[in-house]
Amino acid sequence: MTKVILGTTMSLDGFMSDRDGSLERLYPDLEQLRTTDMLQDSMRATGAVVMGRHAYDMAQGDFTGYEYQVPVFVLTHHPPDEPAKGTNEKLKFIFVTDGIEAAIEQAKAAAGEKDVTIVGGASTAQQVLNARLFDEIQIGIVPLLLGGGLRFFENESIQNIELEQVGILESPSRIDLRFRVVK
């Protein structure tokens, strides 16, 4: 059965970016991150990805070497004019303009028996949290304190969501915690 996994990385004090919106300190070595058990497991289990337009724009439309070689559903109000670089038979970008529910529904259909992974961006993550469209949360905690920025759990409508721990993965640069929603 397809699960929706809400994945994020944050500082120990709960920020997804610093005060300037930068992610650099959270992802100091992307090549090292790609070798972690967490990301390797996620890539094997994922059949489709949902991301926000801001996360898409951060790559400047160039997804050459992008780790998830699956259909990517980008939540946006305005699709880009230029096609993304790096697309191939497996990696395709579908721009969804009619909301997070539609993006998740389309991603589930594309994922088949595999998982849908939500990546990048506090806005997209918070929309998924608000609509309660996730089955699990995977949080990578990086051992640093940003002291300000964009918070992952900056949201009052997520009250009363009970979670059960299903896994912990340690790597040299982070600890990944995985929780399942108790229904």
CA dihedral (37, 38, 43, 45) in degrees, to 10, reads 100
DSSP string, 81-131: SSPPBT--SS--EEEE-S-HHHHHHHHHHHHTTSEEEEES-HHHHHHHHHH
Query: Taking phi first (over 0 means left), then psi (-120 to 50 degrees means alpha), and beta for anything else, what does residue 60 get?
Result: left
- Domain boundary assignment for the chain: 21-173
Query: Span 40-63, mean pLDDT?
Result: 91
Answer whether residue 32 shows pLDDT above 80.
Answer: no
Query: Span 15-22, mean pLDDT?
Result: 88
The dotted CATH code for 21-173 is 3.40.430.10
Confidence of residue 156 (pLDDT cuts 50, 70, 90): low
Confidence of residue 68 (pLDDT cuts 50, 70, 90): very high
pLDDT of residue 39: 82
